[in-house]
Structures are given as structure tokens and as C-alpha cells.
């Protein structure tokens, strides 16, 4: 599959730039090539739509959980399609949507074939914004199988070994949060926290970055503190990664990360409606982190 080859090239190009391999000219070339990967994958899907993937197996494997909203729905099928082609198959994919964004519950026809292959919709009556990514799936799993939950973003083309990496870590550290991409927490300013580029056993000072895909074990999402919606709304409605980090600290849950994985390529234009860019550029993560620390110091 050509898309899989493009994803491997993207990882290689990003490794050259992020890990500073080679001379400045080769790194600049690799960076330019990596920047075009999302567009190339997008065009391959548009022009040479592949045969539909096989149905997901169900059972006790990991659940992939995600959320989205109307501006991104048109091309969401591409992200779903690639998630269903993971070499380590998820049991199912939960797409959690705020029903206020879809008053008639009408979804793009492009998603229809994937409902027969393991895509599920969870309709939420509470607009928890990015917290929709995990909240309703966690609660559903608590009442059922209690499978590992892998959260992903709706605007990234994930490499096909994404779930394999996380499940390998989960097998080694079954009670840790396992993340493909992390930052090391250093002081109060989010922009000073640096990306961790090496494998690391569970650590209290690692922040799991949701866009890289994160696996949450059932031992973590059994914790009641995760579901304090009043605190979420008051302190960090738009900063789900920081809220979950706060809950990890409360429960003594470390974060483990594996070998370097680059930020996956983006769907073109997806960042025009992105929370992450405004959270970082406008300092909202700093405000949310400080609010969380004050909140816990008073308790």
C-alpha cells in the first residue's frame, strides 16, 4: 500500500530532523519532504481510494477512542481507514460526538462503510470538547470489558505500527500510561517542557501528548478523580492532556514512552481549526497548569 510507504518515509525524514542526523543541508531537505507527506497521503486517498479494510476483530483488544466536530467530518474517513489498517488491530473504534454539533445526527456518507467494520458512534449530551476523546469511552469500559483505551486525534495519519508500539509498552508496564510522544515537565512554563526522544520507563514527570496516541490501562481509568466534570469545566476545559496528567499524579500512575516516534503527518488545513496551536501560542496551557496546581494545593 503506497500510503504505508509514505508513512515510513515520513518517520525517517522526521527522525533526521528531530534527532539531528546528518548535515544541515540533508536535515533541511528531510524537513521539506516530511512537510509534504500529509498532502501526499491525502491526495492518494482522494485519487486512488484503496479497497476497504477488513472488519475489526472485536474481543478484548484495545479500544481506539477519538472525537471530532463538523469542520473535520468531511475527510475523517481517511483517518478512520488508516486506523483500521493498524498491524495490531484495535477491537473497535469509538467516535465520541457532541450531539449539539449534529442536531439531526447526520454524518457524512463516506463514514457509512466503516460502521460495518468496527466504527461506533457514542453520542454525548455534554460538550466536554477535547475531553470527549476519552471520557465516555472510559465510562463505557468501566461497565463492560475494561479494555485498554488508546486515544487518538482526528486530523493525523498514524503510522501502522502505532498500536503495536503502545501494546508493547503496555505488556512491559501494564499499570502505566503508555505514550508514543511525551514531554518532560520542567517548571511552570509549558513551552519550556522538552520532547523526550528516548525510551523511558514509567516516570511521574513525563506528560503524555495526546496527538501521538496514548494508551490508558483500566487500572488508571477506574480512578474517580478523572470524572470530576465541575473541575474540568472550571480549570481546563480545553486542556485534556494536562487534566489527565493531574489525575496521573493523584493516582501515582507513571507515564512510559518507547523509541522515538515523529508527530504523524496532518491532514491539510486541519490546523486552521486546532486547539493545540491556540493553547500553546496564547499561553493557555500555562494558565491551565497553574490553575490545576492551585486547585490541588487547596485540597
Question: 258 vs 86, 192, 196, 207, 224, CA distance in Å?
Answer: 18, 22, 10, 13, 28
**Residue written as grid cell 474540568:** 232
Confidence at residue 23, expressed as pLDDT on a 0 to 100 scale: 86
266 forms bridges with which residues in the sheet?
156
- Do residues 151 and 216 make contact, with C-beta atoms less than 8 angstroms apart? yes
Confidence at residue 123, expressed as pLDDT on a 0 to 100 scale: 98
> Which of 132-141, 211-220, 282-291 has the least mean pLDDT?
282-291
Confidence at residue 283, expressed as pLDDT on a 0 to 100 scale: 79
Q: How far apart are CA 270 and CA 195, in angstroms?
A: 22
The pLDDT-based confidence of 21 (bands split at 50, 70, 90) is confident
pLDDT for 198 beyond 60: yes
Percentage of the chain modeled with pLDDT above 90: 80
pLDDT for 31 beyond 80: yes
pLDDT for 281 beyond 60: no
Per-residue model confidence as pLDDT tens digits over 65-112: 999 999 999 999 999 999 999 999 999 999 999 999 998 999 999 999
Q: Where are the alpha helices (DSSP H) in the chain?
A: 2-18, 24-35, 37-47, 76-83, 112-115, 135-142, 162-172, 218-221, 229-235, 240-251, 275-281, 284-297
Q: Coil, strand or helix: which one is 149? A: strand
pLDDT for 61 beyond 90: yes
Confidence at residue 282, expressed as pLDDT on a 0 to 100 scale: 58
> Which of 27-41, 151-165, 174-188 has the least mean pLDDT?
27-41
> Cell triple for residue 75?
475527510
Confidence at residue 247, expressed as pLDDT on a 0 to 100 scale: 97
| Mean pLDDT (whole number) for 284-294 | 92
pLDDT for 26 beyond 90: no
Per-residue model confidence as pLDDT tens digits over 103-118: 899 999 999 999 999 9
pLDDT for 273 beyond 70: no
Angle at alpha carbon of residue 165, lines to 160 and 171, rounded to 5°:
140
Confidence at residue 272, expressed as pLDDT on a 0 to 100 scale: 57
pTM of the model: 0.95
What's the N-to-C CA distance of the chain in angstroms?
Answer: 53
Long-range contacts (CB closer than 8 Å, 24 or more residues apart) made by 22-29 = none
Percentage of the chain modeled with pLDDT above 70: 95
Q: Which residue has the higher pLDDT, 36 or 297?
A: 36
Question: What average pLDDT is seen over the chain?
Answer: 92
Amino acid at each position: 500500500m503506497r500510503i504505508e510507504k509514505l508513512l515510513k518515509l515520513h518517520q525517517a525524514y522526521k527522525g533526521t530532523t528531530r534527532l539531528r542526523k546528518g548535515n544541515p543541508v540533508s536535515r533541511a531537505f528531510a524537513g521539506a519532504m516530511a512537510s509534504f507527506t500529509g498532502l501526499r497521503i491525502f491526495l492518494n486517498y482522494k485519487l486512488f481510494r484503496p479497497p476497504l479494510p477488513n472488519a475489526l476483530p472485536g474481543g478484548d483488544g484495545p479500544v481506539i477512542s477519538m472525537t471530532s466536530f463538523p469542520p473535520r467530518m468531511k475527510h475523517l474517513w481517511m483517518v478512520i481507514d488508516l486506523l483500521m489498517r493498524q498491524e495490531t488491530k484495535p477491537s473497535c473504534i469509538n467516535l465520541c460526538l457532541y450531539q449539539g454539533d449534529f442536531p439531526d445526527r447526520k454524518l457524512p456518507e463516506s463514514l457509512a462503510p466503516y460502521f460495518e467494520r468496527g466504527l461506533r458512534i457514542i453520542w454525548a449530551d455534554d460538550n466536554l470538547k477535547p475531553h470527549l476523546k476519552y471520557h465516555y469511552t472510559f465510562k463505557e469500559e468501566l461497565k463492560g470489558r475494561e479494555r485498554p483505551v488508546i486515544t487518538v486525534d482526528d486530523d493525523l495519519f498514524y503510522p501502522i505500527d502505532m498500536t503495536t508500539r503502545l501494546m508493547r509498552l503496555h505488556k512491559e508496564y501494564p499499570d502505566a500510561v503508555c505514550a508514543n510522544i511525551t514531554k518532560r515537565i520542567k517548571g511552570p512554563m509549558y513551552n519550556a517542557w522538552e520532547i523526550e526522544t528516548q525510551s523511558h520507563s514509567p516516570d511521574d514527570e513525563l506528560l503524555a501528548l495526546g496527538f501521538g496516541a496514548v494508551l490508558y490501562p483500566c487500572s488508571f481509568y477506574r480512578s474517580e478523580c478523572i470524572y470530576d466534570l465541575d473541575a474540568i469545566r472550571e480549570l481546563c476545559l480545553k486542556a485534556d492532556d494536562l487534566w489527565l496528567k493531574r489525575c496521573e499524579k493523584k493516582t501515582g500512575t507513571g507515564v512510559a514512552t518507547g523509541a522515538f516516534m515523529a508527530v504523524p503527518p496532518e491532514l491539510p488545513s486541519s490546523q486552521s481549526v486546532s486547539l493545540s496551536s491556540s493553547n500553546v501560542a496564547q499561553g493557555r496551557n500555562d494558565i491551565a497548569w497553574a490553575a490545576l496546581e492551585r486547585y490541588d494545593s487547596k485540597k
